């Protein structure tokens, strides 16, 4: 029976740690950490995600500010809203909830977020920092996967890792983080030939293809660690990119869906926000890495 990599349990442990960090520093900082979430339009799934993030903030003592803007907002107006949050000294993290309504281009809006307040770790500067091994906010989902592996004593060093998916949101930063942790990494994508032959080489297999139940027993070697990033609503239930019931008997460790990677993504958003608050309130804006922070071990 494979070890369950339980994201709910680790998220709860890390929330405790965050509560302690925030309360221990509140007096010196003079204000709680602040996270601003920009929701544009009425995508129902986004509504659920934004509400979950606001609840998680409340649990640890982060002040959250949700701005809900109409789907017909002009790009210039949205840019102005981002600039206002960039200039707000009570805001440490800014999150633009994706996807945006049709007609709004993501890239210039993400680029407008102050990199020092980039709670999602998706700003070009911060992706560059990850590439170069410099400190900075990290992309939440892959950082959450690294925390789950570390918590269960799974050290990627010297192991063969395969990441299925090469998105900027998940696959690419995941591959960089595993490589930084000294794994030997291959990345598969939709044009990869003989996917199963490649994934069977993996000692650590991370699947982020966005294809329900793509990966089954034929893709996995006995003893592999399998991380399923996918999340889909199918036949009234939730499933991942992995056929859990087929893969679990083979794997040495596996993430469930739900309750694996998902809760960790939200927790890493909180971590990025609290680290940014720590840095901002340590005096001016010296930039990431210039101030020691008590959560540095969680930013791979």
Per CB under 6 A, the segment of 57-65, 71-79, 87-95, 230-238 that binds ligand NAP is 230-238
Instruction: State in angstroms the smallest separation of the CB of 72 from ligand NAP.
Output: 26
Binding mask 122-151 for ligand NAP (x = CB under 6 A): -------------------x----------
Q: Which stretch binds ligand NAP (CB under 6 A): 30-38, 58-66, 206-214, 275-283?
A: 206-214
Interface with ligand NAP includes 262 (CB under 6 A)?
A: yes
In the complex, least distance from residue 33 CB atom to ligand NAP, rounded to whole angstroms = 21
Among candidates 279, 276, 299, 269, which has minimal Cα distance to 60? 269
Binding of ligand NAP at residue 164 (CB under 6 A)?
yes
**Binds ligand NAP (CB under 6 A): choice among 126, 265, 279, 281:** 265
Q: Which residues fall within 8 angstroms of residue 298, CB to CB, at 6 or more apart?
A: 14, 143, 147, 268, 271
**Catalytic pick from 92, 118, 120, 228?**
120
* Catalytic (active site) residue 67: no
Is residue 214 a contact residue for ligand NAP (CB under 6 A)?
A: yes
Distance (Å, whole) CA 153 – CA 147: 10
Interface with ligand NAP: number of residues (CB under 6 A): 26
5 binds ligand NAP (CB under 6 A): no
Q: Can you tell me which residue has the tokens 């544009």? A: 40
Q: Which listed residue (165, 173, 288, 300) binds ligand NAP by CB under 6 A? A: 165
| Residue 294 to residues 61, 139, 158, 242, 298, Cα–Cα distance (Å) | 16, 19, 28, 35, 9
Q: Does 191 bind ligand NAP (CB under 6 A)?
A: yes
SS3 assignment for 266-290: HHHHHHHHHHHHHHHCCCCCCCCCC
CA distance 282 to 276: 10
State how far the Cα of 9 lies from the Cα of 275, in Å rounded to an integer.
Answer: 22
166 binds ligand NAP (CB under 6 A): yes
Q: What token pair was written down for 26?
A: 């509140």
**Dihedral sign computed on CA atoms, order 78, 80, 86, 91:** negative
Burial track 65-104 (b if 16+ CB lie within 10 A, e otherwise)? bbbeeeeebeeeebeebbeebbeeeebbbbbbbeebeeeb
Residue 257 CB, shortest distance to ligand NAP, in Å, is 8
Cβ distance to ligand NAP smaller for residue 68 or 232: 232
Q: Which stretch binds ligand NAP (CB under 6 A): 104-112, 123-131, 176-184, 186-194?
A: 186-194
Task: Indicate the helix (H) or strand (E) that contains 297.
Answer: none
Please indicate whether residue 120 is annotated as part of the active site. yes
- Residue environment code for 176-208, b if the CB has 16+ CB neighbours within 10 A, otherwise e: bbbbebebebbbbeeeeeebeebbbebbbbbbb
Letters for 17-56 (x = contact with ligand NAP by CB under 6 A, - = none) are: ----------------------------------------
Q: What residues act catalytically?
A: 53, 97, 120
Which residues lie near ligand NAP (CB under 6 A)?
141, 164-167, 169-171, 188-192, 195, 208-211, 214, 229-232, 261-262, 265
């Amino acid at each position: 029976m494979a070890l369950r990599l339980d994201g709910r349990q680790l998220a709860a442990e890390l929330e405790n740690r965050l509560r302690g960090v925030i309360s221990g520093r509140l007096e010196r900082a003079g204000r709680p950490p602040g996270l601003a979430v920009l929701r544009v339009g009425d995508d129902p799934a986004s509504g659920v995600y934004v509400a979950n993030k606001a609840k998680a903030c409340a649990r640890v003592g982060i002040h959250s500010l949700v701005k809900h803007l109409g789907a017909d907002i002009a790009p210039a107006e949205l840019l102005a809203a981002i600039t206002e949050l960039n200039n707000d000294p009570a805001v440490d993290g800014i999150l633009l909830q994706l996807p945006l309504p049709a007609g709004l281009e993501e890239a210039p809006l993400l680029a407008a977020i102050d990199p020092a307040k980039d709670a999602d770790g998706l700003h070009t500067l911060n992706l560059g920092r990850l590439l170069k091994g410099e400190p900075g906010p990290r992309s939440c989902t892959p950082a959450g996967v690294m925390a789950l592996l570390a918590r269960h004593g799974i050290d990627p060093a010297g192991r063969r890792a395969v990441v299925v998916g090469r998105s900027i949101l998940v696959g690419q930063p995941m591959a960089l983080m595993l490589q930084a942790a000294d794994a030997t990494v291959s990345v598969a994508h939709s044009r990869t030939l003989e996917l199963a032959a490649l994934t069977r080489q993996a000692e650590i297999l991370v699947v982020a293809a966005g294809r329900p139940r793509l990966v089954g027993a034929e893709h996995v070697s006995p003893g592999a660690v399998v991380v399923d990033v996918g999340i889909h609503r199918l036949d009234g239930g939730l499933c991942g990119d992995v056929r859990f019931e087929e893969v679990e008997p083979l794997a040495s460790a596996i993430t469930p869906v739900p309750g694996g990677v998902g809760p960790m993504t939200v927790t890493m958003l909180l971590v990025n926000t609290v680290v940014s608050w720590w840095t901002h309130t340590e005096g001016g804006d010296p930039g990431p890495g210039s101030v020691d922070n008590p959560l540095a071990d969680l930013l791979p």
